[in-house]
Amino acid sequence: MSRFKQGGKKEMPGITSSSLSDIVFMLLFFFMVTTQMRETENKVKVVTPEASEVVKLDRKDLNSYINIGSPTLAYQQQFGTESRIQLNDSFRTTDEIRDFIAAERDSKKESDRQLMTVSIRADQDVRMGIITDVKQELRRCSALKIMYTARKPAK
Amino acid sequence: MAKKTPAINSSSTADIAFLLLCYFLMTTTMGSHFGLNRRLPPMPDPTQKIEDQKVNRRNIIQVKINAADRILAGSEAIDVSQLKDKIKEFLTNPTNDPNLPEKEVKEIAGYSKGTYPVSKGVISLQNDRGTSYKAYIAVQNELVKAVNELRDDFSMREYGRKFAALGEDEQKVVKDCIPQNISEAEPKDIGQRR
């Protein structure tokens, strides 16, 4: 009398794939939490310069972006390759920064307007001339808190 | 006897979740927003009389970057890699050199020893219109790095911890003792325009 039956071919049990969906959901939630929606389409090519002493921006909602760089391939036929300024979704000149800053300021809460930061996202090959113009214009609109966007160097 | 209900085939939920995952991967960007914070000086009031701000010459170091991205710090041309040490020497003035900035013994609120000789040194950064942004940021970075390393040294000496690991009040003390005085000079039109 044998308690342990030896006979017969046993079928391999199928691997349960029910936990697979849980894992993928976890991944999904991770990406949902750590990423943000892309707001505007980049019309200029921006490769930010590297800097090791960068700090994290604390209030992302109080931030407005000024992109500076040469237009991307799709817009080069129309706008050439000279460095240009992009505010929101279109190419602008330095004179229009004033209106842009005013509009941005209006969109923030009154108590937070002092804390508004302007991020200058400029390509590393841009000349300082255009950035100096932007800075002077920002000073004129008294948007004095600025940030030069940079990325951490890859180690 | 009740009939057993057959289990719902759940193998496709993974596919659905993958689809969602791909959607979010495509439409979002990583929330990594880093940069160097700066405060611009307010525009001088045109009606105001220009007061000549007399700053002792020894208290200022001029860092200039020309259109060919070469750096002049003080009176000598140096490489970016040397800039940090130069700035650190300028700000600390370890030998009390009369050509380097003077120190002012200041009372600092919250500091255990009461007073600290705070350096009066100011770094003035000047660039040309033709300077590349990359070089400009590299120099800015070196300046910030010099100040950060001094703050770290000070924190290690006083609190035995790095600056980043200190509490808010202690960080304020360190910031008061070692201020970050970087001024961006009024732009000058020199060199070729671009």
Shortest distance between the Cα of A38 and any Cα of chain B, in A, equals 5
Burial of A107 (0-12, 13-18, 19+ CB in 10 A): exposed
B9 pLDDT higher than 60: yes
The whole-number pLDDT of residue B90 equals 85
Tens of each residue's pLDDT in chain A, 155 residues: 556 666 566 777 777 777 777 888 888 888 777 776 666 677 888 888 888 888 887 777 788 888 888 888 888 888 888 888 888 778 888 888 888 888 888 888 888 888 888 888 888 888 888 888 888 888 888 888 888 888 888 76
Shortest distance between the Cα of B123 and any Cα of chain A, in A, equals 17
The whole-number pLDDT of residue A147 equals 87
Quick one: which of A122, A49, A118 has its CA closest to A83?
A122
Among the residue ranges A79-88, A122-131, B23-32, B119-128, the one predicted with the least confidence is: B23-32
Please, what sign has the CA dihedral across residues B141, B180, B151, A56?
negative
The whole-number pLDDT of residue B193 equals 45
Q: Say how far residue B56 (Cα) sits from the centre of its chain.
A: 24
Residue type, B85: D
Residues B36, A119 contacting (CB under 8 angstroms): no
- Look up residue A110 and give its two tokens: 């009154």
B40: contact with A, CB 8 A cutoff: yes
Interchain proximity A28–B17, CB inside 8 Å: yes
A60: contact with B, CB 8 A cutoff: yes
Among the residue ranges A64-73, B38-47, B98-107, the one predicted with the least confidence is: B38-47
Where exactly are the structural domains of chain A? 44-50+58-148
The whole-number pLDDT of residue B25 equals 78
Q: Which residue of B has its CA nearest to A135?
A: B40
Shortest distance between the Cα of A31 and any Cα of chain B, in A, equals 7
A93: contact with B, CB 8 A cutoff: no
Among the residue ranges B19-23, B73-77, B96-100, the one predicted with the least confidence is: B96-100
Over residues B78-85, mean pLDDT:
86
CA distance B174 to A122: 32
Quick one: which of A55, A147, A151 has its CA closest to B171?
A55
Q: Which of residues 169-188 of B touch A (CB under 8 A)?
A: 184, 187
Q: What is the pTM of this model?
A: 0.74
B105 pLDDT higher than 60: yes
Compare CB distances from B35 to A52, A125, A147 and report the shortest one's residue: A147
The whole-number pLDDT of residue B97 equals 78
Compare CB distances from A150 to B24, B34, B148 and report the shortest one's residue: B34
The whole-number pLDDT of residue B194 equals 42
Shortest distance between the Cα of B125 and any Cα of chain A, in A, equals 13
Interchain proximity B132–A53, CB inside 8 Å: no
The whole-number pLDDT of residue A96 equals 85
The whole-number pLDDT of residue B62 equals 84
Please state which architecture CATH assigns to domain A44-50+58-148: 2-Layer Sandwich (3.30)
Task: Kindly report the number of other CB atoms within 10 A of residue B40's CB atom.
Answer: 16
Over residues B97-110, mean pLDDT:
78
B127: contact with A, CB 8 A cutoff: yes
The whole-number pLDDT of residue A1 equals 53
B29: contact with A, CB 8 A cutoff: yes
Burial of A149 (0-12, 13-18, 19+ CB in 10 A): buried
Cβ contacts of A15 on chain B, cutoff 8 Å: none
List C-alpha distances in Å: A81 to A149, B37, B68, B133, B135. Answer: 22, 29, 21, 17, 21
Shortest distance between the Cα of B75 and any Cα of chain A, in A, equals 22
Cβ contacts of A54 on chain B, cutoff 8 Å: 34-36
Task: Kindly report the number of other CB atoms within 10 A of residue A56's CB atom.
Answer: 10
Compare CB distances from A53 to B16, B132, B144 and report the shortest one's residue: B144
